[in-house]
A and B are shown apart, each in its own frame.
Chain A
Amino acid sequence: MVTDLTETTSNSETTAIEIRDLSFAYHEKPALHEITLDIPARQITAFIGPSGCGKSTLLRCFNRINDRIPGAHLTAGTIHIHGIEINRPDIDLQELRRRVGMVFQKYNPFKKSIYENVVFSLRLAGIHQRSALDDSAEMALQSAALWDEVKDRLHSSALGLSGGQQQRLCIARAIANQPDILLMDEPCAALDPTATLKIEELLHQLKEQYTIVIVTHNMAQATRCADLTAFLYLGKLIEIGPTLEIFSTPKDPKTLSYISGSFG
């Protein structure tokens, strides 16, 4: 299912992730079929599709977090990030994950202080100077639009924050290390509408600096935030295009019936 966007690929200046003929399976059960897709840099790309269509699996391939799941493996195809194949055996997974940050569906700050949550990745990298840590923490919290709300209680527990604040803290934690790409797996699924709105505003600011890939169930969210939208169905990429086009003039009848709400 190759779309008409293929000809605009292979420009590594503007393309952050290149996926070619990607197939993926859990044990013997295939989850993704021959997906070919380019994700442009410094834009927001949204994956939509019904439950179980493989959109999260695809997203989790980009930082190889799927390796945690026993039996999950690539069966064919390649993923290049900034020109390098990330499934090569000699890839440094830790470095890859530092470059490709991730925010999960359910906010999951550690049972530490707000400050320690944000600087966690820096401490992992062996940075211990107080000033460097302080600067990065402030930068990350400001980028995540959380600084003003927490600057007076940086050293109190992160679990005392509201759900929306915790999710923004997770975003701050993911960008403290200044990754190139930010993966977001339904970041607003566990949040109320007000908090969702805040995160969406945040996404617009963040795309100046980061390539963002977001998985969402919420089609309105995709129209509000995404520059590009990809529709997946039963492990296959059905259609990808600029968000407005996908939602106004879908080329594939399956896309039309999904966005018009006849299934999903």
Chain B
Amino acid sequence: MPIEISPSPENPHRFQRRGFSCERAIKYFFASNAGLTLVILLLIIVFLLKEGLGFFPGYRRELEIYRIAGLEFVDISRKNLTAHEQLSSVLNRAYFAQINGQCARELKRSQEAAAVFNAFSDQTSATRELIANHEATGMDRGSEMLATLNNNHACQKQKALDSLPLTPHLSDTERAELIESIRARDVTTVGDPPLVTALAQQYASAQQQCAMPIAEWRSVIDSFEAAGADLSALVTEMTDAVTTTKEAIQNNDILENDRKSLLAAAANAKDPSERQKLMAEARDSLAEKPDIEGPMQSLMLRKPDCIATHAALRQACEGILAMLPPSLSQSDANRLLLAARKASPLFLEALTGTSQQITQWRHDKPVPLSDSIRSFLTGKDWVTGGAWQDFYGILPLLAGSLMISMVALCLAIPAGVGAAIYINQFASPVEQAVVKPVIEFIAAIPSVVLGFIGILIFGTILRDLSQLDGLAWVPGFPIEERLNIFTAGCLLALMSIPTIFSLAEDALNNVPAAFSEASDALGASRIQTTFRVIIPAAFSGILAAVLLGLGRVIGETMVVLLVAGNRIKIPDFSAGLGTFFQPSHTLTGIIAQELGEVPLGSVHYRALFVVGILLFAVVLGINATAHKFVNRTTN
């Protein structure tokens, strides 16, 4: 029950508050600081939503144009054409893998000899050309200039000869012979050293020899490639037609928008004459409705043509694919062949289904808003800035982000939590004093600098290592791309280890000493106390540490942009562990890379904001979960 307050007397009681005290001012100052952070967070959310939510209607209109202009129709055929091209590329790769695998020795010998000679030429050719030029211009043979150049050339030659690359596949005599022939060269010698030429010839003849027994197969591949020609011609022809329609519709959209803003300006204008002028301008800019129906009619006339071409392609391919050899002797080639065998029934099935798809396709089927949301969330393509059609599908980016985080966590959890357990439970005070600051220092390294380390160590050196013959048994080796998911994962692991370590160590530290004392008093050894009492008690804290580490990993931008390889494609999971050595792009990376280049307010610009919203939601979720676990520990 509130106490009734009597009107304030002239001289208040000394218990009553008077005026505005300094203490209250200080309190309000701090309250406003705390309030500011809330306001900023609110602003971030509001602006993200404001910019992002406009994406879906815009994208819907793009998808609508995609349909009414007929691009979608052409893409039905184009999809099959791409599948056909991919399949023939796989077959070709298998073919060459087989040949190169069989004459790997010749290939390596030839490459090594050429590498030695190239290393030599790279260092000496500049001076050599200078000398040649001088002689061509008829300079005095005894001139001082020429003497200096000749001297330089000799020095460079010696230096180059001292630092030639290794040649593990050449015998010592061959290497000596090669070096001798290089040493014997003077300024005027042209052509390759005899050994280089000989080895190249050996390689070429070995290639021919290996190709002989599989010549039949070559013709199978060639006929498969040729079978796609009709479809290719058809797609090209239709592409031109629909692109014109699309441009017309887009231009009309732009004019229409202009007209609307003119009308809006006219409605707001105060001066009647001004208004008249704006209205007239708007009337003038009334564009003619572009002709959609005409081109569409002619496109629809191609339907039977399309169906016939597909049926023909299917028939041809079915026969050809049945002639593939059952297996190949080289493991790489065999893997590719198996991939092709696995893909071919799917390809044929897709071809079969196409005719129905083509018959059922209608250009006037409406595109609801939910289509644009679905296309964003489940789209497998993120294609932007292309002449054909932009797609904003989140899956390739999400897959990249998740796989990189997975690699990072797989490495960082054992390292971070393990280090925390060791430092907290087993380390001597000296070790503690050294290791803790060092690990925490890693967090202070700017991520761009870490990126350099990543490119150099995890990228270049790892790739070079993976190409050693002795390491070929490691799954995923040899690595083709220097910058890939694994590289980025390693670096992110390095970045998240300090977070995980510090928080996990805190969690272990917060376990009351009474627990370990009780455990000791019951006769537990150090290891038993650690694993049976301390870690279970700190478990939720450790989990929270891992989650906060994950939040750091998902949100990290600079490192992934530098070292993830930035290829926007869902990784090819058929490669097994090799999947982790493919380049990829991420949610954060795409925003950083593209936001500076897109036109303000365009659909692409808004798409990046939606990616930002998604990222924001994911990190918020992770942090909220982590917070829950932290609370559970402290209670």
Contact = CB atoms under 8 A, between A and B. Distances in A.
Contacts of A63: 521
A246 interface: no
Given A101-B522, A125-B523, 19 more contacts: A63-B521, A65-B517, A68-B517, A96-B523, A97-B520, A97-B521, A97-B522, A98-B522, A104-B514, A104-B517, A104-B521, A108-B515, A108-B517, A110-B518, A110-B533, A121-B523, A123-B532, A124-B522, A124-B528
B537 interface: yes
Contacts of B525: 94, 124
B514 A108 contact: yes
A177 interface: yes
Interface string A127-163: 0000000000000000000000000000000000000
Nearest to A65: B521
B536 A111 contact: yes
Interface string B481-519: 000000000000000000000000000000010111111
Contacts of B514: 104, 106, 108
B524 interface: yes
Interface in B526-577: 528, 532-533, 536-537
Counting contact residues on chain B (CB < 8 A from A), the size range is 10 to 19
A102 B528 contact: no
Contact of B532 (A97, A104, A124, A170): A124
Contacts of A120: 519, 522, 532
Interface of A: 63, 65, 68, 94-98, 101-102, 104, 106, 108, 110-112, 120-121, 123-125, 170, 173-174, 177
Closest A-B pairs by Cβ, 10 of them: A108-B514, A98-B523, A97-B523, A102-B521, A121-B522, A94-B523, A108-B518, A124-B524, A124-B528, A111-B537
A98 B524 CA distance: 9
Contacts of B522: 97-98, 101, 120-121, 124, 173-174, 177
Contacts of B518: 104, 108, 110, 170, 173
Q: For chain A, what secondary structure do more than half of its interface residues adopt (helix, strand, loop), or is it mixed?
A: helix
Nearest to B522: A121
Contacts of B512: 108
Contacts of B515: 108, 110
11 contacts: A65-B520, A68-B520, A94-B524, A96-B523, A97-B522, A97-B523, A98-B522, A106-B514, A111-B536, A112-B536, A121-B524
A98 B520 CA distance: 10
Interface centre among B520, B525, B528 (most CB of A within 10 A): B520
Contacts of B519: 110, 120
A71 to B, nearest CB: 12
A112 B515 CA distance: 11
A68 B523 CA distance: 13
Nearest to A93: B523
Contacts of B528: 124
Interface of B: 512, 514-525, 528, 532-533, 536-537
A177 B517 contact: no
A118 B532 CA distance: 14
A104 to B, nearest CB: 7
A121 B519 CA distance: 8
A158 to B, nearest CB: 12
Nearest to A176: B522
A173 B519 CA distance: 10
Contacts of A125: 523
Contacts of A123: 532
Contacts of A106: 514
Contacts of A95: 523
B293 to A, nearest CB: 74
B632 to A, nearest CB: 11
A120 B532 CA distance: 9
Contacts of A98: 522-523
A102 B525 CA distance: 16
Contacts of A112: 536
A178 to B, nearest CB: 12
A174 B518 CA distance: 9
Given A68-B517, A104-B517, A120-B532, A110 B523 contact: no
B525 to A, nearest CB: 6
B521 A124 contact: no
A106 B513 CA distance: 11
A138 to B, nearest CB: 18
B521 A101 contact: yes
Nearest to B512: A108
Interface centre among B522, B525, B536, B537 (most CB of A within 10 A): B522
Contacts of A68: 516-517, 520
A120 B521 CA distance: 11
A177 B537 contact: no
A25 B536 CA distance: 34
A111 B524 CA distance: 16
Nearest to B518: A108
Contacts of B532: 120, 123-124
Nearest to A106: B514
A104 B522 CA distance: 12
Contacts of A170: 518
Interface centre among A95, A108, A121, A177 (most CB of B within 10 A): A108
Nearest to A170: B518
A232 B168 CA distance: 82
Interface centre among A101, A124, A170 (most CB of B within 10 A): A124
Contacts of B520: 65, 68, 97
A28 B536 CA distance: 37
A174 B524 CA distance: 12
A173 B525 CA distance: 17
A23 B549 CA distance: 50
Contacts of A177: 522-523
Contacts of A97: 520-523
Nearest to A92: B523
B188 to A, nearest CB: 81
A68 B522 CA distance: 14
A125 B520 CA distance: 13
A90 to B, nearest CB: 16
Contacts of A111: 536-537
B89 to A, nearest CB: 59
A104 B513 CA distance: 12
B426 to A, nearest CB: 14
Interface centre among B514, B517, B523, B533 (most CB of A within 10 A): B523
Nearest to A100: B521
A96 B516 CA distance: 17
A163 to B, nearest CB: 14
A3 to B, nearest CB: 29
Interface centre among B514, B518, B520, B521 (most CB of A within 10 A): B521
